[in-house]
Amino acid sequence: MTVPASAPRPPTLLLVDDVPENLSLLIDTLRGAGYEIRVAESGERALKQLPHVNPDLVLLDVMLPGLSGFETCRAMKAEARWREVPVLFVTAVHEVSEKVRGFEAGGVDYLTKPFHPQEVLARVMAHLQIASLRRELERKNALLSEENALRLEAERQLHQSLDRALLVAKHDGEVVFRTRQASQLIERLFPGSPEDRLAPALLAWVRKGEPRPAEVLPQVRARLFAEPGAGESFVLFLEDLAWQPKVERLLVLGLTPREAEVLFWFVEGKGAPEIATILGVSHNTARKHAQSVLEKLGVENRLAAVRIAQERLGARD
């Protein structure tokens, strides 16, 4: 029973025993199986060597000068870095109570003297495999956590997109999904239009192909995500530009056109994440524009900026 040849590096074992005969037998058995071997003759020496050896597994004699094996194991497990390193106690004691003490100290198994080479190899390999499987499980759990975070971010973006006029339709004009904003806008633009079909003007605009005009109707801008194909769905984004004159009235406050748009949507009660979605910019960009608005208006918070904007929008030119 030897270390697999495909292993990137042989596992490192730390042997802690003060009896040369025991060490000699363990070294011959384990080194012959391809393991890297490091030796400490006391618990204190073992603890000092840990950072330098970085063992994959520890074989620890119970009866040691100074710190006992139990005390050494407890000290080792007190540090997070070594908490998951498997410790096998080596002992001549057969009492159950002593073995229980070892498990309570953090050990995972026992080798009872006199031990047999094949048993030593079998137990060492088994616990190395268990430790490897645990690490792989932790890695996969970390990946799942990352994927879950990405899924939550996608759901958050979808939730934000529900504040936009979005439709999902098929190439024949069948509407399979539309947001509340889209329903309201279409009802205003195309009164009586069936909910499950694109209005003829919208379908005609989609079928024009590139380059399409930016506006599907006066003051209604449209954007298409993915060209429609047979059997495929596409996403249509509609944007009501009726608010543009109001944005233009805010330019006199010394803002750039983008900053004026941000301020307008502040007045409409939108936060930076929603504004980012509406304007098609990153959240960081929307936050920077919002901060610039506050600085140019000489105010400290959004509420004060909204008051200034409302005064401007309500003023007669």
Residues 79-96: tens digit of each pLDDT: 999 999 999 999 887 788
Residue 156 confidence (pLDDT)? 61
Q: Are the CB atoms for 250 and 264 separated by under 8 Å?
A: yes
How crowded is residue 199: how many other Cβ atoms within 10 Å of its Cβ? 18
Per the CB < 8 A criterion, the answer to whether 174 and 196 are in contact is: yes
Return the CATH fold of 12-138.
Answer: Rossmann fold (3.40.50)
Asked whether the predicted pLDDT for residue 163 surpasses 70, the reply is: no
Dist CA 21 CA 23 (whole Å): 5
Residue 157 has pLDDT above 60, yes or no: no
C-alpha span between 11 and 189 (Å, rounded): 71
In angstroms, what CA-CA distances link 185 with 128, 182, 193, 219?
64, 5, 11, 12
The count of other CB atoms within 10 Å of the CB of residue 270 is 19
Terminal Cα-to-Cα distance of the chain (whole angstroms): 91
Cα four-point dihedral sign 24, 25, 26, 32: positive
Q: What is the mean pLDDT of residues 146-164?
A: 64
Query: Span 254-314: which CATH code?
Result: 1.10.10.10
**Token pair recorded at residue 235:** 């996403």
Q: Which pLDDT score is estimated for 152? A: 67
Asked if residues 72 and 62 have their Cβ atoms less than 8 Å apart, the reply is: no
pLDDT in tens, 224-255: 776 555 557 788 888 777 777 888 889 989 99
Amino acid at residue number 35: Y
Q: Give CA–CA dist 189/174, Å, rounded.
A: 18
Find the mean pLDDT for residues 199-205.
87
